[in-house]
Amino acid sequence: DASHAVRDVVRRAAPHLRDGVLVVHAAKGLETDTLKRMSEVIREELPAPLGRRVAVLSGPSHAEEVCRKSPTTVVVAAEDHGVAQEAQDLFINAYFRVYTNPDVVGVELGGALKNIIALGAGLSDGLGYGDNAKAALITRGLAEIGRLGYRMGANPLTFAGLAGVGDLVVTCTSRHSRNWRAGYRLGQGASLEDVLAQMGMVVEGVRTTKAAYRLAKRYGVEMPITEQLYAVLFEGKPPKQAVEELMGRDRTHEWEWIVQVRDAAR
């Protein structure tokens, strides 16, 4: 999930790619400086004909389980359905089922933004708040992802699928998840610097929180969980205070953003 390295890797690989090659990425993040999705970054670094043959593979798929050939189901998205089908045929097998989806924006945002909510779920567990709180974070986190995704051009239905709720649930509930583990340590009182140093690997949700915070401001989208996590990660806010402020927000309707999407479609 080292999305920060994708541009450099593609730039170096581009001269060695033959015409007609299929380019499939599985990086679940956003470029922090430009706020661009990974397919946008890849297309900028590839010749135009290859840029039209870019697909994204995403969904609930811990590598540890895929390596053991545990049943896994994912989604591949491309603007050209033929490209998506080509990638589907390449990856699908008896234990790795692949669906296609035309919504590249939604699939990429679902894969990236779920890492933020996984940080929050781990933080909640680290504070000892239990399953009720984590279920609330997952559910309301999905609403945040849907709000921003819709404003950025995604199909809201994508977030009810594998790249949305599927990836969100597995990342927020599994100890395989680096983002959950990082959040858990933060909830137990460790500093972000200590957590990152001890893990010794990329925690994509930390970078993505910064990018999503900026995107929410750009698009005028309310993302309270993301905003509180940003304050914990980068402004020194105590995790317990962040949770208390989330619980103390003004009353609202659960389906508020869905109603907004419905009305906009009329």
CATH of the domain at 251: 1.10.1040.10
Those residues with Cβ within 8 angstroms of residue 41's Cβ, 6 or more apart along the chain or in another chain: 6, 7, 10, 31, 34
What is the Cα–Cα distance from 265 to 100, expressed in whole angstroms? 24
Question: Could you tell me if residue 100 is inside a domain?
Answer: no
* Residue 251 domain flag: yes
Whether 69 maps to a domain, the answer reads: no
In tens, the pLDDT along 190-245 reads 999 999 998 877 788 999 999 999 999 999 999 999 999 999 999 999 999 998 88
How many domains, the chain?
A: 1
**CA 59/CA 165 separation, integer angstroms:** 9
Whether 133 maps to a domain, the answer reads yes
13: tokens are 């690989």
- What are the tens digits of pLDDT across the range 34-81? 999 999 999 999 998 899 999 999 999 999 999 999 999 999 999 999
Helical ranges in 46-166 per DSSP H: 48-51, 63-67, 81-91, 104-126, 130-151
Burial of 99 (0-12, 13-18, 19+ CB in 10 A): middle
Q: 191 is in which domain, residue-wise?
A: 105-265
Q: Is residue 17 domain-resident?
A: no
CB 186 within 8 A of CB 232: yes
203 part of a folded domain: yes
The catalytic residues are 114
Cα→Cα distances 133→62, 112, 143, 164, 165, Å:
24, 22, 15, 19, 17
Given a contact cutoff of 8 angstroms between Cβ atoms, the answer to whether 196 and 203 are in contact is yes
Q: Is residue 63 part of a domain?
A: no
pLDDT digits (tens, 9 = 90+) for 74-131: 999 999 999 999 999 999 999 999 999 999 999 999 999 999 999 999 999 999 999 9
Separation of alpha carbons 90 and 26, rounded Å: 14
Answer whether residue 145 is part of any domain.
Answer: yes
